Amino acid sequence: MKKTLLIIISFAVVTLVANAQRTWVVGNDPVNFPVSAGIGAGPDRSVFITDLGIHTGTVTSTNMGQVEVSSKTFGEITYPNRFKFNGGGYASSSYAQETPTVNMPTQRFLTIKVSGSGSIKIQGVTGNSGEARRLFVTDGTNLIGTMVFPSGSAISEETVNYTGGEAMLYLYCNAAINLYNISASSATTHTSLSTGVKGVLANNGIFFNGQQISNSNNLSLEVYNVLGKLMVKSTGSVNTDDFQKGVYVVRAEGIQGALKFSK
């Protein structure tokens, strides 16, 4: 009986560690999310705060992740501040778009690494009280779900459910949205975007050496530019000599995540 009980307790502890609830009170956490102008100038600047990734992507301004004094209440909770995306997650985004034109964001996005199935819940408000705006959750390849923050000035709570294995989830908007509280039921340790994304492709023989996208396993690759336009599709390595200067995203069929590089 004692041995059986010990096994059950050990299993429960392992399960708890693997599927940990994370909550980021971005509207009222002066230690981790103090009032600031943002995470700094991009492009490609990333900051990780208690397993939440905050990324500028291609934008060169400093204000992604700005925390600003702006008191609001949600039920009995008062948030003194708000966390701001300060823009959409891809070029040519618009509040009128109900689905994203790309599933891999190129600018102003958050990342949460999850160990498996779970839910992401956000308390937020549209950045313009006259417009409903949407926050998309993707795995870099597929749209997982959409949170709609209605027009008006009141905070609403929205949820997206994810079903699957370990993954990197991307959160981004069609236009600016302000956040107050973020939670993920199956979040796990997340301290590097390259480890979670580039590493998956590198392990499958896909990497960029400065001139060529190597594809040693002859997987089906698609290369997109920053606007989401398909540049080339190939089952071999891809030479990028004719590519213009800019940021590109590589996806491989059947592999979660993507490789982003610039020329």
The answer to whether residues 238 and 213 touch, using CB atoms and an 8 Å cutoff, is yes
Full set of structural domains in the chain with CATH: 18-187 (2.60.120), 193-262 (no CATH)
pLDDT band at residue 8 under the 50/70/90 scheme: very low
pLDDT confidence tier of residue 172, bands split at 50, 70 and 90: very high
The pLDDT confidence band at residue 20, using thresholds 50, 70 and 90, is confident
pLDDT value at 14 more than 70:
no
Q: Give residue 193's pLDDT band: very low, low, confident or very high (50, 70, 90).
A: low
Q: What are phi and psi of 174, to 5 degrees?
A: -85, -15
CA separation for the pair 10, 86 (Å, rounded) = 45
Model pLDDT, residue 249: 84
Are the beta carbons of 168 and 111 closer than 8 angstroms? Answer: yes
**Residue 180 near residue 155 (C-beta atoms within 8 A):** yes
Contact 178, 70 (CB under 8 A): yes
Confidence of residue 256 (pLDDT cuts 50, 70, 90): low
Residue 65 has pLDDT above 50, yes or no: yes
Per-residue pLDDT at 259? 78
Read off the pLDDT band of 253 (50, 70, 90).
confident
Q: 212-215 and 238-239 as β-strands: parallel, antiparallel, unpaired?
A: antiparallel
Long-range CB pairs of 160-163 (<8 Å, 24+ gap) are 160/119, 160/120, 161/117, 161/118, 161/119, 162/114, 162/117, 162/118, 162/119, 162/120, 162/137, 162/186, 163/117
Taking 70 as the threshold, does the pLDDT of residue 11 lie above it? no
pLDDT digits (tens, 9 = 90+) for 75-120: 999 999 999 999 999 988 999 999 999 888 889 999 999 999 999 9
pLDDT higher at 87 or 197: 87
pLDDT at 185 over 50: yes
Distance CA 24, CA 146 (A): 20
203 burial type by CB count under 10 A (0-12 exposed, 13-18 middle, 19+ buried): exposed
Question: CA 30 to CA 40: how far, in whole Å?
Answer: 18
Please report the sign of the dihedral spanned by the C-alpha atoms of residue 203, residue 213, residue 171, residue 55. positive
The percentage of residues in the chain with a pLDDT greater than 70, rounded to a whole number, is 86
Residue 227 burial (CB count, 10 A): 13
* pLDDT score for 252: 83
Please give the model's pTM, rounded to 2 decimal places. Answer: 0.72
